[in-house]
A and B are shown apart, each in its own frame.
Chain A
Amino acid sequence: MLTLLEQLDKGTLWKIPGGIHPPEMKSLSNASSIARLPLFDEYLLPLPQVGEQASLAVSVGEQVLKGQSLTRGAGHSYLPVHAPTSGTVIAIEPRPSNHASALPVLTLVLKSDGKDDWCTLEGANSDGANTKSVSSEGVNAEKVDIASLSRELILSRIQQAGIAGMGGAAFPSHIKLSPASEIELVIVNGVECEPYITADDRLMREHADDIIAGLEIIHKLLAPKRLIIAIEDNKPAAAEAMGAALNRSHLPAGTARVTQIPTKYPSGGEKQLIQIITGKEVPSGAIPAQLGIVVHNVGTLFAIRDAVVFGKPLIERVVTVTGNTVSKPGNYWVPIGTRVTDVLTYCDFQSEPSQKIIMGGPMMGYALPESKVPILKGSNCILVPASDEIGEMPAEKPCIRCGECAVACPASLLPQQLFWHAKAEEYDKAESYNLKDCIECGCCSYVCPSDIPLVEYYRVAKAAIRHDAEEKRKAERAKVRFEARIARLEEEKNAREAKAREAAEKRKASMVGNEKDAIAAALARVQAKKAAKDDGAVSGVAADGAGAGASVGLSAAVSAGVNNTAATPADAATTAADPKAGVAAAIARAKAKKAAAQAEAGESSAQDQASTDMAAERSTEARADVNPEPSAAQDPKKAAIAAAVARAKAKKAAAQGLSSASDAQTSDAPAIDQAIETGAEDSASNNSDENNANAAATVTPEGKEDPKKAAIAAAVARAKAKKAAKAAQNDGVDAPAADTQDNADAAEKNVTDIAESAGTDGAESAGTDAKASETLTPADAKKAAVAAAVAKAKAKKAAQAQAQASNLQQAEDNEHSSSQRDAQLAQSDNAAEAADVSEIADIDVSNVSNVPDAADGAVAENAAPQADQAQDAEQDSKKARIATAVAKAKAKKAAREQE
């Protein structure tokens, strides 16, 4: 048993299954030597990697030199695109691609200046850089000594030269040349088995030494045990030239040889060539490197040598132009990016009716729907056959299962089974017949007596399978993400509940020590309830959503000495914005003061605790909401937005401060320590918040100068207004809860007055905020757009308000039922729970369907016309809001009366 190396040295060849012998038609183009084309006007350079691994290095209008890199990038598979000649970039836009679909791709359009000036080439001598054709002057130039270059340098030069496989697949060569595993065998593919094409044949005949120089570079890079140059036996001249060049080379004796293989299509396929030379098969789905084999095209070797020795990028290649409709068939050095139509015109192309332009050979090439497409690195042939040469495809006839396709298939597939399944779109079955191993060589279609375009069916099937797999993957991903989201929401909910529970436990713990107080409180509450009933009308109005602004106002009033540092800026802002609001605030303050004084008397510690906890909870929640996501951090407008966030926080903190402040003022002896603690904490946080608020204030005016910033500021303001409205609703729910408690504890109906004024104030300040956002915009360039947005936002808000109005009723109901229970149980902490319940009910906005509750029937009816009105009043959003507020208030009142 001979080892593989011995067999390689002997030149043993293996047989591949299948294969065909189509007419070669090579004599049409292989007689003359490779010619040069004149400079054309326009070159098209597709930029497939731009937007992924690469970015543009030039812009429209820029002058570029020949060989200059037009893209920048760093990725492993990045390949730069170079200018094929000097000139001006006149456009970078989608243009039809050199592809069977001609779908447009991003293309750089280069207008030649006719000078063809080289840029300075890195690593090349000056002669090389100034010579118009480095490739043709061969050994005369001062070569860079390959031996002196490091492996990394060679690889980076190959990458920087943008060298991709020139056999057709255009796979980046530097990746193939830096394999993960050891390479034992390098096969040089000079087979060129496709009919008509002679580009590699001519290149081998004319530039054998340069190709071998490229092979030496590969030998240095990979250090394989053997290098085999495979050439089909219908190209004896090329084989001879390569053999002679090999003898002149510096490659170690016995490592490299030229092997002639029998002419048969598709011997030049990578997998088939490996099978012929070594008898091994590349496992399905694997790459040859896993067998320790790499295959390189002769054209690639030539380009590698140019790149490494001269630093010359891959900007031109040999293209066979052939077919009976050109009068000058032959091989040409065509700059990459030359338009196919220019090449054809130069070769005196006489178009026939329903002409076909085939990129590549007749077996695997694709017909171009459009001729103004560029030559690519993998384009080896333009075939323009006359109609008597390659005619119209005959119509497809039924398959008679003759099995000729299976005989011809070089991959030993069953093409007819694939065809049945592909045609019936049973792609899973087609896959089970190894559709993915089809190399689309076209042998099956070639031999088919029924003229079935088998390869087309396979391509469609493959594309569909790819598409399905992609869809499947996406669906799977969507599912995972959806489930992750559900889990996250669940977790957040649990966390919230856990916190609520914790708070409740804390309350309970403190309750144990104050049982007496609790009983007193309960008694007080019963009284309060009576009072509240009498005072139904007032408290109904009080139920109106109290805005954060209102709380601020209230806090300013109540805690004038203690905590007004936090409150004042916000308050002042409100006042400045709207005198009316200011007046309202003043009234509120006055009322609040009165209320506070009276409340002082009978505040129980338990209630204090409850409200403090609640406020704390709310503020944490709010903070969590506002917390920007990490991705946002990069935004330059971060500062302004952060400031806005801070402002919101300040407000919340102020609200918090209100409750704690009142605690501090009114608390009984047992709770006093705790209250002081909270107060201290609050004031600390308020101080920091105040700073933030100030920062916000300074940022906002700045924003005005910049139209964009102003727009954002406006948007921020709008959002703020919205939030205020929302907060108003939240507070509206919370406030009544507090009301009930206050009533119970203090038996003071004046407290409802506070709440009332707070509500008014809230509505006012919410409006003011909205107005402020409007006043910000006039100077703005984008005013119109933003105004529209504002209007839209307002309209939406109005609609929302309607929904929430009814929602509020529900919350109210819940609350009342629980407060009743409270009275019976004489447990003050239940009131806090009730507040929680109502809060949750409010959060559950999506639960709108529950609104027309039986108990609320009358109320809902009452509110509905109002809400309708609100909807209609799109132009006057303020009116609408007030109307809704009134509706809400009425609803609440009704609810209370019902109770």
Chain B
Amino acid sequence: MAFRISSSPHVRKDTATQAVMQKVILAALPGLAVQCYFFGWGSFIQVLLAIAVALGAEAAVLKLRGRTIKETLNDQSAILTALLIGVALPPLAPWYLVVIGTIFAIVIVKQLYGGLGQNLFNPAMAAYVLLLVSFPVLMTTWAAPLGLGADNAGFVDALKVIFSGVGAPAFALGIDGVSMATPLDTLKTDLSMGLTATESLQKPIFGGSSTGEGWVWVNLAYLAGGIYLLASKTIRWHISTGLLGALFVCSLVGFALSPDTHASPLFNLFSGATMLAAFFIATDPVTAATSRRGRLLFGALIGVLIYVIRTFGGYPDGVAFAVLLANLCAPLIDYYIKPRAYGHRGHS
């Protein structure tokens, strides 16, 4: 009689990588929906396109690497990466941006480093930065929020714009009011032109809410998704809290010192990709620090970097750069911040 042997523990909690990924994707959907509501169907199309490209690219690479394709695709990490790229890109950006970005993210940033769990950088953010430095104009031209410009691009219009560029002029830069810079971009430009923050915030893009029309809702939706993730213990609070806390403190200090040249803390928290970064991007465990204190520090580092880049840097939003820089620091943080193991109190 031979018996099966295996190592203890013999019971496992019913969680799987796939389930984790699914929950994160699920939690990001409200944000996507709100984004689509304010900026048209573009984001949705970008997401779908990114997912298709991501799955294709990953399957191809896995085949080349001689790995099992089905099981690996099943973990849905590629879908999550694609989703994040999709929502981060301007809704009406041409199709090749998302294709290039996704392929770069999946093939180079993720698989060439060894696949899931091995990559040093957050694939979505690496792709975003690649696109940002390669196509600066296209990447900083965002669709006008609902109610500010002409009617939102419909699904078909959005498809047309994205895939053929036809009609692009109609939705092009600011004057037509269909597509325009983001509030962060506007504020930055205005500040550099000598306007005070208060004056800048009078502009229609901020919609009187002093955070930017529509953006506050997008951020709130992502916040809601993040809270769901926290509640379901899919992510832990350390990174998000560190990020938001640091961003808040920094902008509060800046705002208190010089209200004219700095945006308010609330503006910083609820504009741009702040909430998306705090709950969906920075919390990518693969590229984050591992210990609890390390993660707090990791999040805070991102928060500080976001604020610094937004305030002093050349780019309107610094999430992608901040995350990549923090990714670089993660091994260092892990090296220096280790939890005190049981029985090591007082010594060592």
In whole Å, how far is B330's beta carbon from the nearest beta carbon of chain A? 9
The closest CB in chain B to the CB of A400 belongs to B117
| B308-348 interface (Cβ within 8 A of A) | 334, 338-347
| Complexed CA–CA distance, A459 and B4 (Å) | 19
In whole Å, how far is A229's beta carbon from the nearest beta carbon of chain B? 23
B10: chain A residues within 8 A (beta carbon)? 356, 358, 362-363, 365, 367, 383, 385, 390
Bin chain A's interface residue count: 35 or more
The verdict on B19 contacting chain A, using a C-beta distance below 8 Å, is yes
| A443-460 interface (Cβ within 8 A of B) | 445-451, 453, 455-456, 459
The verdict on A245 contacting chain B, using a C-beta distance below 8 Å, is no
A414: chain B residues within 8 A (beta carbon)? 290-291, 334, 338-339
| Complexed CA–CA distance, A417 and B291 (Å) | 10
Q: A281-B343, A402-B285 are in contact. Are A393 and B12 (CB under 8 A)?
A: yes
Q: Are the CB atoms of A456 and B342 closer together than 8 Å? A: no
The verdict on B11 contacting chain A, using a C-beta distance below 8 Å, is yes
Determine which of B1, B4, B17, B286 lies in contact with A449 in the assembled complex, contact meaning CB atoms within 8 Å: B17
Q: Are the CB atoms of A412 and B11 closer together than 8 Å? A: no
Q: Are the CB atoms of A403 and B285 closer together than 8 Å? A: yes
B75: chain A residues within 8 A (beta carbon)? 397
The closest CB in chain A to the CB of B68 belongs to A395
Q: A398-B116, A407-B236 are in contact. Are A367 and B342 (CB under 8 A)?
A: no
A412: chain B residues within 8 A (beta carbon)? 339-342
Q: A398-B118, A406-B292 are in contact. Are A195 and B3 (CB under 8 A)?
A: no
The closest CB in chain B to the CB of A363 belongs to B9
| Complexed CA–CA distance, A399 and B287 (Å) | 12
The closest CB in chain B to the CB of A405 belongs to B290
A51: chain B residues within 8 A (beta carbon)? none
Binary A-proximity of B1-33 (CB < 8 A = 1, otherwise 0): 111111111111101110110000000000000
The closest CB in chain B to the CB of A441 belongs to B9
The verdict on B188 contacting chain A, using a C-beta distance below 8 Å, is no
| A274-309 interface (Cβ within 8 A of B) | 275, 281-286
The verdict on A123 contacting chain B, using a C-beta distance below 8 Å, is no
Q: Are the CB atoms of B3 and A371 closer together than 8 Å? A: yes
| Complexed CA–CA distance, A282 and B341 (Å) | 11
A281: chain B residues within 8 A (beta carbon)? 342-343, 345
In whole Å, how far is A101's beta carbon from the nearest beta carbon of chain B? 9
B13: chain A residues within 8 A (beta carbon)? 20, 22, 446-447
Q: Are the CB atoms of A363 and B11 closer together than 8 Å? A: yes
In whole Å, how far is B161's beta carbon from the nearest beta carbon of chain A? 36
A366: chain B residues within 8 A (beta carbon)? 7-8
In whole Å, how far is A14's beta carbon from the nearest beta carbon of chain B? 12
A285: chain B residues within 8 A (beta carbon)? 343
In whole Å, how far is A409's beta carbon from the nearest beta carbon of chain B? 9
Binary B-proximity of A349-386 (CB < 8 A = 1, otherwise 0): 00100111110101111111111000000000001010
Name the residue among B118, B290, B347 with the largest chain A CB count within 10 angstroms: B290
Binary A-proximity of B266-298 (CB < 8 A = 1, otherwise 0): 000000000000000000011010111001000
Determine which of B9, B77, B117 lies in contact with A399 in the assembled complex, contact meaning CB atoms within 8 Å: B117
B254: chain A residues within 8 A (beta carbon)? none
Q: Are the CB atoms of B9 and A362 closer together than 8 Å? A: yes
Q: A411-B342, A416-B290, A434-B341 are in contact. Are A401 and B117 (CB under 8 A)?
A: yes
Q: Are the CB atoms of A401 and B290 closer together than 8 Å? A: yes
| A388-432 interface (Cβ within 8 A of B) | 390, 392-395, 397-404, 406-407, 410-414, 416-417
Q: List 28 A-B contacts (CB under 8 A).
A: A17-B342, A283-B343, A283-B344, A283-B346, A284-B341, A284-B342, A284-B344, A354-B4, A356-B10, A363-B8, A367-B4, A367-B6, A369-B3, A392-B4, A398-B115, A400-B286, A401-B117, A401-B288, A403-B285, A412-B339, A417-B290, A417-B334, A437-B341, A446-B11, A447-B15, A449-B17, A453-B6, A455-B8
Pairs of residues from A and B, 6 with the lowest C-beta to C-beta distance, nearest first: A442-B9, A456-B7, A284-B343, A411-B342, A398-B117, A367-B5
